[in-house]
Every structure is written in C-alpha cells, then in structure tokens.
Amino acid sequence: QVQVAEFGGGLVRPGGSLRLSCSASVNIKNMDTMAWYSGPQRNLVARITRENITDYADSVKGRFTISKDDAKNTLYLQMNNLKPEDTGVYYCFAGFQDWGTWGQGTRVTVSS
C-alpha cells in the first residue's frame, strides 16, 4: 500500500518561512501528480506533474514553491512570507491515473 507522510509544520510569525516535506513509500517519479492541499475542504495550494510542470493557488503565487526530489521520493513546499491566512492543516497528495492517496496532514500556524 502506498503511503505518504508530511513533516515540517509548526508555529511561525507572519513574514516567516517554513518548508514542508512529504515522504512517499514509492518511487514518486512514477506519479502523474503530487500536490499540497490545505484546510478542511482540502483546497489546492500547489501541484507538480511528472514533467515538473507546476501550478499554484493565486493566494500563494510568488510566496510558495513546490518541488520534488525523485531520488529521495520526497515532495517539498517552501513557504515564504507566511500570512495568518495561510494557517491550516496541509495535506500531501500523490496521484496516478485514477488513483490517489493522502497523508495525515501537518499543521501550520502563522501567528504573532
């Protein structure tokens, strides 16, 4: 069974930075899409395709960067200039054709 697990959440002041990591139990270079979602409705934050094409929510463009290291089977989300409205649980998603799996989430709190 494929599993993904998120790391790196925490408490940070407005304007600060965090880097989230998502470790997968399989070779992520075979995944069609890997992505980060946030909130109870799991809104898309950023995604990256097998071909390394990236896409971002308008609210994070210019502040967040999604990347992956296929050799380490790890997905990243570099979050800069964090705002209080970025607060939430961030979930990692790995998808292949009509199949996908989610992590348990990692909490990010942006507060002074």
The CA dihedral of 63, 53, 95, 31, to the nearest 10 degrees, is -120
Question: Residues 7-24: pLDDT tens digits?
Answer: 999 999 999 999 999 999
Residue 20 burial (C-beta neighbours within 10 Å; 0-12, 13-18, 19+): buried
* Per-residue pLDDT tens over the stretch 61-100: 999 999 999 999 999 999 999 999 999 999 999 999 989 9
User: How sure is the predictor about 2, in pLDDT bands with cuts at 50, 70 and 90?
Assistant: confident
Q: Is 30's pLDDT higher than 90? A: no
* Average pLDDT over the chain, rounded to an integer: 96
DSSP 81: S
Q: Is the pLDDT assigned to residue 52 strictly greater than 80?
A: yes
